[in-house]
Amino acid sequence: MKLLVVSHSCATATNQQLYAELEELTGWDLTLVIPADWRDEFGNRLDQPACAGLKGRVIKVPVLANGNIILHAYRRRWRAFLRAEKPDAIYVNHEPYAVATAQVCLAAGRETTFGFYSCQNILKTYPPPFSQMEKMVYGRSRFAFPITEAVAEVLREKGFQGENCVCALPLDPGVYRPRSEEADHNLLPRKPGEVVIGYVGRLVEPKGLRTLAQALALIRDLPWKLVLIGKGEFEEGFRALLAKDGLADRAEFLGYVPHDRTPEYLSAFDLLVLPSETQPNWKEQFGRVITEAMACGTAVAGSDSGEIPRLIEASQGGVIFPERDAQAFAGALRELILQSGLRQDCAARGMSWTRDHVSLRAIAGKMAATIDRAHSR
């Protein structure tokens, strides 16, 4: 099998590891097309060497609308490129309504086995030309990799009839793993008995930061400190909320941390919080940081927004609370802070579940079987 993969997320070497695993598992001839100079949501330039285990070619192509996941387009004559490459199958790691997906799908024609990715878990109708691009991609695709069952259901409701295989966002257990206690404490020093509460993500209101501040005010009597990784428009507002309750000195804002260093911090946290709050046009699609934290041996406390409760229920790796409920959130935090045994039990269950269900090998196996079936149709 000659497989061509197009992926903006693979501008980060860590995200290329799934395809190295797929190569090793199948022996397929794999070519990876990525942006030549991609910028992430924080505006940081991502330009890394290919991951060490990847045997196939990595082709870097300039893009228009750099950093915009839906609107970016590859500056490439795709029809000529595909005629020269002659792939048996093409997987575009982008949404079906994205410009890049439509670019490649249109050039590939109907003969090539084509597939796409999706994380859209709300049934939406997009304006032209995105609705037309989406319909065209559905009609020409033989397989799709939705990240959750809720996303798969959206695809079915929109009329997609190809192979529809749920593939969670994978992680490498060799990267996302617990570090030693000494390494954890050197990275994030703490007072004796102090519990480190971690948050990783955008500092925006829909992520539940206002509720987090309210919950922390309710447990000011407990020994904790908060460490936040990420940037966003609500940072100053969140700082002000903490200051109002006299908690400013108990929070540490680290800002942007490179993707490849995040596992060190996830291991150093005693527990991770993800208090996301559903909006009219958004709900938490996967909560990838939850599985990453669990793989690093860290218990989680998450709201019941979107996919968060399903992950926590399936893994038994943490505690769920109703979104926007500061009292319930504070109760969950109090329980996890005071009961180290509960944190350890959640951590052990979460690690076991991530290894069995969202490891690179587990997801690569599902992808390989799906592409094989689609190609034989």
pLDDT tens digits along 174-200: 999 999 999 999 999 999 999 999 999
pLDDT of residue 75: 95
Residue 125 contacts residue 131 (beta carbons within 8 Å): yes
Q: Which residue has tokens 């860290």?
A: 298
pLDDT of residue 135: 97
DSSP characters over 232-289: -TTHHHHHHHHHHTT-GGGEEEEE---GGGHHHHHHH-SEEEE----BTTB--S--HH
Phi, psi dihedrals of residue 230, rounded to the nearest 5°: 130, 170
Here the tokens at position 302 are 């998450």
Q: Which fold has domain 181-357?
A: Rossmann fold (3.40.50)
pLDDT of residue 260: 85
Cis, peptide link before residue 322, omega less than 30° from 0: no
pLDDT of residue 285: 80
Domain ranges across the chain: 2-168+360-376, 181-357
Residue 90 contacts residue 114 (beta carbons within 8 Å): yes
Sign of CA dihedral 40, 45, 50, 53: negative
Q: How far apart are CA 339 and CA 213, in angstroms?
A: 22
Q: How far apart are CA 97 and CA 90, in angstroms?
A: 16
pLDDT of residue 212: 99
Q: Which residue has tokens 């617990």?
A: 178
For the chain, 377 residues long, the average pLDDT of each consecutive 10-residue run is 96 90 97 90 70 92 94 96 97 98 96 95 94 98 95 96 94 94 97 98 97 99 98 98 98 93 98 96 86 98 95 96 98 98 98 94 96 94
Does residue 203 sit in helix, strand or coil?
A: coil
DSSP characters over 66-92: TT-TTT-EE-S-HHHHHHHH--SEEEE
Domain 181-357 in the same topology as domain 2-168+360-376: yes
Q: Which of 231, 221, 292 is nearest to 256 (CA)?
A: 231
CATH of domain 2-168+360-376: 3.40.50.2000
> What is the distance of C-alpha 207 from the center of its chain?
14
pLDDT of residue 41: 67
In this prediction the pTM is: 0.80
